[in-house]
Amino acid sequence: MSVMWNCWHGCTKLSAGCLNCYMYRRDAMYGKDSTVAAKTSAFRLPLRRNRQGQYKVPSGELVYTCFTSDFFLEEADEWRKEAWEMIRLRSDLTFFIITKRPDRFYVSLPKDWGDGYDNVCISCTCESQYTADLRLPIFLELPIKHKSITHEPMLQKINIRKYLREYGSQIESVSCGGESGPDARPCDYAWVLDTMLQCVEYNVSFFFHQTGANFIRAGRLYHIERKDQHLQAAKAGIDFTRAV
């Protein structure tokens, strides 16, 4: 089972992958300024209890964290201290965090972090070769117990061999996905396949997450409805589990 914990909302666009940010599109529909970050009403969700005094988020859940912002956003430096404290107190939950800002990891990090909390998984998003070469050398040196890489929205073929070669044993998985929305940039299946082959070569688990709205296969462009994007990716049958 999984739970969504959106601790703060609002973000600043950072790189090409942010161009058609889902959160900006949603806010635009309500005339809201997406660049203003604020804590949400769900901020204290991990510690909320029901009338019986039990945690509302039961033990063992996977908690997807901060999905309309970036956990390491500068404006959230103070809030992140409280968020880390909740994550520490709920060591019975697993928190999954995706970021484009690994360079800000150390800001507001808890003193007892050590080589990482067991219950925190962090994935670094790299949508292009440029952002992979910018973020991965930083990310892969960070003290995090569970690390993964996300290429989403994948905008081009990305060669991460040198990172898989050097850090493969600590990268738990690599996942690829296309872009959704009316202005989605296309994702080419050949790029996804190429990443899968890199992962097989270095024995790192690979996951094709979703196709995106505009998907190219064998040179032909397909428009894929939102509801079918995960299913079509699964149908490709190219996920790979690391051999132990």
* Residues in touch with ligand SF4 (CB under 6 A): 11, 13-14, 18, 21, 23, 69-70, 100
For ligand SF4, the closer of residues 104 and 146 by Cβ is 104
For ligand SF4, the closer of residues 13 and 48 by Cβ is 13
Cis peptide before 153 (omega within 30 of 0): yes
Smallest gap from Cβ 73 to ligand SF4, in A, equals 7
For ligand SF4, the closer of residues 97 and 204 by Cβ is 97
Smallest gap from Cβ 13 to ligand SF4, in A, equals 5
For ligand SF4, the closer of residues 168 and 186 by Cβ is 186
**What beta strand segments (E) does the chain contain?**
2-5, 8-9, 38-39, 62-65, 94-99, 120-125, 146-151, 171-177, 187-188, 206-210, 214-217, 220-223
Place of tokens 């997406």: 34
> Are the C-beta atoms of residues 156 and 128 closer than 8 Å to each other?
yes
Smallest gap from Cβ 133 to ligand SF4, in A, equals 18
For ligand SF4, the closer of residues 97 and 120 by Cβ is 97
Smallest gap from Cβ 65 to ligand SF4, in A, equals 12
Smallest gap from Cβ 49 to ligand SF4, in A, equals 30
Residue 98 pairs in a beta bridge with: 123
Phi, psi of 169 (to 5 degrees): -70, -20
Place of tokens 């510690």: 47
